[in-house]
């Protein structure tokens, strides 16, 4: 089975280079030093218009934790509507409660707004202690994939956890590995973990 390589990029020009280098999918962000925030309308529009590979857009109004105010939540909802209008392939988000559990109601609302788009739950997942329970919750919510490094450091450190998550998911949800995954180590990691998708800012 072929491996899907998703390039995490911080601007349009980096996205363009990743496409030219053979990326299979783009995760479009701004502010990668903050872990990625939602890019501008113009960036999303041009990427969806000009690239012939799927474009996933991060929906994150700021860096920091994954507990959002009511105003930030409204911003996220509007950004999802914009992504759908502009022809994005997927949206990437994750909302947690103050005790680092999945905020079921708010995530469900965003998922319902994302009809017609794929949904990736991002590395907020790595803040959750009970990952097995979290996987089942995300499957029930209708999430398509989870972007995770298996731990709080890197996919290399979390490879045994990632392998277990792939086995638990059993094809019901895609496990997209990320976190220090590069063009030099993704093959080894994917083979060991048993997944089909890998993400990184240096994946191609």
* Torsion region of 101: left, alpha or beta (phi above 0 gives left; psi -120 to 50 gives alpha): beta
The tally of domains found in the chain comes to 1
Q: What share of the chain is helix, strand, coil (3-state, %, to 5)?
A: 40, 20, 40
175: CATH: 3.20.20.380
Q: CA–CA distance from 79 to each of 40, 145, 164 (Å)?
A: 10, 20, 33
Per-residue model confidence (pLDDT) at position 1: 60
Handedness of CA 30, 58, 3, 16 (dihedral sign): negative
- What pLDDT does residue 186 have? 97
**How far is 4 from 112, CA to CA, in rounded Å?**
26
Question: What confidence score (pLDDT) does residue 48 get?
Answer: 97
**Residue 120 structural domain:** 4-200
pLDDT value of residue 114: 97
Whether pTM exceeds 0.85: yes
Which residues, 6+ apart, have CB-to-CB distance to 196 below 8 Å?
Answer: 1, 2, 3, 4, 174, 190
What residues in the chain have per-residue pLDDT under 70?
1
């Amino acid at each position: 089975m072929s491996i899907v390589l998703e390039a995490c990029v911080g601007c349009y020009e980096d996205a363009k280079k990743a496409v030219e280098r053979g990326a299979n999918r783009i995760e479009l962000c701004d502010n990668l030093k903050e872990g990625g925030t939602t890019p501008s309308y113009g960036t999303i529009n041009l990427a969806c218009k000009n690239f012939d590979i799927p474009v996933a857009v991060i929906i994150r109004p700021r860096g920091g934790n994954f507990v959002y105010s009511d105003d930030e939540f409204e911003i996220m909802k509007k950004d999802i509507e914009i992504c759908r209008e502009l022809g994005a392939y997927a949206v990437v988000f994750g909302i947690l409660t103050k005790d680092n559990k999945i905020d079921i109601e708010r995530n469900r609302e965003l998922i319902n707004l994302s009809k017609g788009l794929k949904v990736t739950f991002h590395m907020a997942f790595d803040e959750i202690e009970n990952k097995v329970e979290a996987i089942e919750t995300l499957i029930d919510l209708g999430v398509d994939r989870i972007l995770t490094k298996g731990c709080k450091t890197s996919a290399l450190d979390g490879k045994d956890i990632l392998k277990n998550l792939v086995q638990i998911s059993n094809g019901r949800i895609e496990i997209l590995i990320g976190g220090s995954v590069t063009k030099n180590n993704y093959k080894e990691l994917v083979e060991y973990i048993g997944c089909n998708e890998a993400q990184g800012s240096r994946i191609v």
